[in-house]
């Protein structure tokens, strides 16, 4: 049934035939094994057959430890889009930024890959009852798939898991056990429980489970195929090897236990084995600062991570304090592959990234996913990610629903329609209610930039964060005319424009009494010489470097100018 793969022991190298019921090496008894396939022949077969196969996780069934090609419990998992993040990319100055949108899986996170393949495998093995510990999303995914497969699920959840997620687990008929303890302790409790129940009950073994690790690698396959469609095959002038598929320079993911990046790197290794690609990307694994055992170990060059006993983060999904051997395996894979790094970010940086992605790209994600994006921003700013590199960030999960603490106060404007007095026309009540949320005059801001995309980006930033009357000018001459004609409060000015550049616009504004008091914020991609800086000194309110500020920073700058003015 499973003759297309073997299970290789990571300790003694012994290869045994694979069966979903065996979890240890018959030679040494070790519990850490990985699947191996006949890569060369599968690679050739894939190139021929892929065009006719549907784009979902089962597209790569030749490389999965499942005997069915399209299990009936499938709900269309995998095959998620690779989105180009044009707005965030131009804000950060990295044009080749892509987002693997794993929110579009059936239960809203990339754990559906793991659940679909693992549960299909449990079903093939005739298992009827399963026990797992989870920080939330694994329990939700497994609940949905075990329900379709007719398998009973016991989910041990740490009490840190938001109650919205606990209810989502319960709706599928899962037995929910809420454990007031850390995630690591919850895991031990679940293991003991499974031990006691014995017959037919299967304990989810996380990264040591072959189906689970195999599920994660499918993201690498999809990313390569999608990047090739987006950017074309690798350039054979510079690449002598002439492989058909592309590999990104970076794969970035928020990690808890670390199964995602281990699996994804295994996927890239397999693509190379099949001669479909010739490189392994650098992996960046991002953790919240309050629970970052892998980051500490990496920075100290240790191959074993020291557990964090009491994680201090509000992001429950990422609260694995003890990554165990998974860290060691991930580090080994990185060192023999494309390298990479581990970084930490604060909860606040992650919450801020939620707002940035929702407002700039229309993508609403959960705090755990945002940790990866906060890491991306940090790595671009520190220069670890270069402007011409191809970057893929995993948007691992959807926010459902947005937690209170992230949105804060003042996110809704209430309108109450008063009971209408009999003599009044009904519309009047409506209009007077509306007039209360619409002031008479907004501050007016002019955006001056010769690139339409840059103007649109700044317009979008302003519109998403507040109310302004916005004017646009596409060159220096138009900007000066606009300033003469309208009562501008603030001008957001680009420096490098054809004909009349930003410096000359400033000269013109300052020599005319009517326009001399307009507050100017220069936004530029140019690195300024000291002579150029001297030309700006005292004449502008601030200088913002493109790619180095986030949306809310620009708005804060504008609002502070407007406040000064009204004082």
Ligand X SMILES: *Cc1c(COP(=O)(O)O)cnc(C)c1O
Q: Which one-letter DSSP state was computed for residue 418?
A: P
Q: Tell whether omega for the bond before 287 is within 30 degrees of 0, i.e. cis.
A: no
**Which one of the spans 157-165, 329-337, 365-373, 471-479 is the region binding ligand X (CB under 6 A)?**
365-373
Residue 130 near ligand X by CB under 6 A: no
Residue 17 near Zn ion by CB under 5 A: no
CB of 307 to Zn ion, least distance (A): 26
HEC string of 444-486 equals EEEEECCCHHHHHHHHHHHHHHCCCEEEEECCHHHHHHHHHHC
CA angle in degrees (0–180, nearest 5) for 353-349-550: 55
Angle between helices 259-273 and 325-336 (to 10 degrees): 30
Residue 71 near ligand X by CB under 6 A: no
HEC string of 476-527 equals HHHHHHHHHHCCCCEEEECCCCCCCCHHHHHHHHHHCCCCCCCEEEEEECCC
CB of 257 to ligand X, least distance (A): 4
76 contacts: CB under 8 Å, gap ≥ 6 = 56, 106
**Which one of the spans 9-17, 37-45, 352-360, 386-394 is the region binding Zn ion (CB under 5 A)?**
9-17
In contact, 246 and 231? CB cutoff 8 Å: yes
Binder to Zn ion among 7, 9, 119, 318 (CB under 5 A)?
A: 9
**What residue number has its CB nearest to ligand X?**
260
Residues 295-334 that bind ligand X (CB under 6 A): 317
Coil, strand or helix at 273:
helix
Interstrand relation of 250-254 and 391-395 (parallel, antiparallel or unpaired): parallel
- Sign of the Cα torsion 178, 184, 190, 193 reads negative
- CA–CA separation, 296 vs 308, rounded Å? 10
Interstrand relation of 444-448 and 340-345 (parallel, antiparallel or unpaired): unpaired
Name the one residue in this structure whose structure tokens are 């689970």: 212
Residue 12 near Zn ion by CB under 5 A: yes
- CA–CA separation, 509 vs 493, rounded Å? 12
CB under 5 to 8 A by kind: which of ligand X, Zn ion, none does 111 bind? ligand X
Binder to ligand X among 293, 397, 476, 502 (CB under 6 A)?
A: 397
Residue 95 near Zn ion by CB under 5 A: no
Mask for 365-394, x = binds Zn ion (CB under 5 A)? ------------------------------
CB of 5 to Zn ion, least distance (A): 17
Toward ligand X, which CB reaches closer, 392 or 462?
Answer: 392
Binder to ligand X among 71, 106, 257, 267 (CB under 6 A)?
A: 257
CB of 22 to Zn ion, least distance (A): 12
Residue 259 near ligand X by CB under 6 A: yes
- CA–CA separation, 367 vs 69, rounded Å? 35
CB of 374 to Zn ion, least distance (A): 40
Interstrand relation of 33-37 and 490-493 (parallel, antiparallel or unpaired): unpaired
CB under 5 to 8 A by kind: which of Zn ion, ligand X, none does 256 bind? ligand X
CB under 5 to 8 A by kind: which of ligand X, Zn ion, none does 259 bind? ligand X
66 contacts: CB under 8 Å, gap ≥ 6 = 117, 120, 121, 124, 211
Coil, strand or helix at 21:
coil
- Sign of the Cα torsion 17, 23, 28, 30 reads positive
Q: How many CA atoms lie within 13 A of 8 on its CB side?
A: 8
**Which one of the spans 44-52, 249-257, 408-416, 472-480 is the region binding ligand X (CB under 6 A)?**
249-257
Binder to ligand X among 118, 130, 137, 146 (CB under 6 A)?
A: 137
Binder to ligand X among 396, 443, 444, 524 (CB under 6 A)?
A: 396
Coil, strand or helix at 356:
helix
Toward ligand X, which CB reaches closer, 74 or 109?
Answer: 109
Residue 36 near Zn ion by CB under 5 A: no
Binder to Zn ion among 6, 24, 30, 532 (CB under 5 A)?
A: 30
**Which one of the spans 27-35, 153-161, 460-468, 508-516 is the region binding Zn ion (CB under 5 A)?**
27-35
CB under 5 to 8 A by kind: which of ligand X, Zn ion, none does 260 bind? ligand X
**Which one of the spans 23-31, 93-101, 534-542, 548-556 is the region binding Zn ion (CB under 5 A)?**
23-31
Residue 7 near Zn ion by CB under 5 A: no
Mask for 413-452, x = binds ligand X (CB under 6 A)? ----------------------------------------
CB of 144 to ligand X, least distance (A): 14
CB of 9 to Zn ion, least distance (A): 3
Name the one residue in this structure whose structure tokens are 């069934």: 61
User: Residue 563 burial by CB count (10 A; 0-12/13-18/19+): exposed, middle or buried?
Assistant: exposed
Binder to ligand X among 104, 105, 107, 109 (CB under 6 A)?
A: 109
Residues 138-177 that bind ligand X (CB under 6 A): none
- CA–CA separation, 150 vs 134, rounded Å? 20
Binder to ligand X among 139, 368, 406, 446 (CB under 6 A)?
A: 368
- CA–CA separation, 172 vs 484, rounded Å? 64
User: Residue 442 burial by CB count (10 A; 0-12/13-18/19+): exposed, middle or buried?
Assistant: middle
Binder to ligand X among 160, 255, 329, 495 (CB under 6 A)?
A: 255
Residue 344 near ligand X by CB under 6 A: no
Toward ligand X, which CB reaches closer, 109 or 118?
Answer: 109
Q: Which one-letter DSSP state was computed for residue 425?
A: -
Query: Interface residues with ligand X (CB under 6 A)?
Result: 109, 111, 137, 254-260, 317, 366, 368-369, 396-397
Query: Interface residues with Zn ion (CB under 5 A)?
Result: 9, 11-12, 14, 25, 27-28, 30
């Amino acid at each position: 049934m499973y003759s297309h793969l073997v299970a290789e022991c990571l300790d003694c190298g012994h290869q045994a035939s694979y069966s979903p019921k065996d979890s240890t090496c018959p030679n040494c008894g070790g519990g850490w094994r990985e699947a191996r396939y006949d890569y060369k022949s599968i690679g050739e077969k894939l190139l021929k057959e892929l065009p006719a196969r549907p784009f979902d996780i089962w597209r790569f069934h030749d490389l999965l430890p499942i005997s069915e090609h399209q299990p009936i419990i499938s709900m269309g998992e995998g095959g998620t889009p690779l989105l180009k993040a044009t707005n965030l990319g131009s804000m950060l100055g990295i044009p080749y930024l892509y987002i693997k949108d794993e929110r579009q899986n059936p239960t809203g996170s990339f754990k559906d890959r793991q659940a679909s393949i693992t549960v299909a495998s449990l079903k093939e093995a005739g298992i009827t009852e399963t026990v797992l510990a989870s920080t939330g999303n694994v329990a939700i995914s497994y609940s949905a798939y075990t329900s379709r497969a007719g398998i009973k699920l016991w989910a041990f959840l740490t009490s840190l898991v938001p109650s919205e997620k606990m209810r989502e687990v319960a709706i599928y008929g899962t037995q929910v056990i809420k454990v007031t303890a850390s995630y690591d302790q919850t895991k031990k409790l679940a293991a003991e429980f499974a031990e006691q129940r014995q017959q037919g009950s299967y304990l989810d073994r996380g990264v040591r489970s072959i189906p689970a690790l195999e599920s994660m690698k499918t993201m690498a396959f999809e990313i390569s195929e999608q990047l090739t469609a987006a950017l074309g095959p690798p350039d054979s002038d510079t690449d002598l090897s002439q492989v058909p598929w592309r590999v990104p320079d970076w794969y970035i993911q928020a990690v808890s236990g670390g199964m995602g990046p281990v699996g994804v790197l295994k996927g890239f290794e397999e693509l190379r084995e099949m001669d479909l690609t010739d490189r392994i990307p650098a992996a960046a694994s991002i953790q919240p600062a309050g629970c970052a055992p892998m980051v500490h170990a990496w920075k100290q060059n240790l191959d074993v991570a020291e557990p964090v006993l009491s994680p201090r983060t509000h992001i429950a999904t990422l609260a694995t304090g003890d990554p165990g051997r998974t860290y060691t395996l991930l580090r080994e894979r990185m060192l023999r592959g494309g390298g990479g790094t581990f970084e930490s970010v604060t909860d606040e940086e992650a919450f801020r990234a939620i707002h940035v992605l929702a407002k700039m790209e229309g993508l609403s994600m959960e705090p755990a996913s945002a940790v990866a994006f906060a890491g991306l921003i940090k790595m671009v700013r520190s220069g670890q990610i270069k402007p011409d590199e191809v970057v893929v960030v995993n948007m691992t999960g959807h926010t459902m629903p947005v937690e209170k603490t992230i949105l804060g106060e003042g996110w809704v404007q209430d309108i109450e329609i008063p009971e209408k007095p009999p003599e009044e026309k009904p519309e009047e009540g409506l209009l007077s209610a509306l007039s209360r949320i619409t002031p008479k005059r907004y501050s007016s801001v002019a955006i001056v930039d010769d690139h339409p995309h840059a103007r649109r980006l700044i317009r979008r930033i302003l519109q998403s964060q507040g109310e302004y009357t916005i004017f646009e000018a596409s060159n220096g001459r138009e900007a000066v005319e606009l300033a003469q004609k309208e009562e501008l409060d603030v001008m957001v000015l680009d420096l490098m424009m054809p004909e009349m550049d930003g410096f000359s616009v400033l000269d013109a504004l300052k020599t005319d009494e009517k326009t001399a008091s307009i507050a100017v914020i220069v936004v530029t991609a140019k690195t300024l010489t000291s002579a150029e800086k001297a030309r700006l000194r005292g004449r502008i309110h601030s200088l913002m470097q493109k790619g180095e500020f986030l949306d809310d920073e620009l708005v804060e700058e504008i609002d502070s100018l407007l406040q000064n003015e009204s004082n």
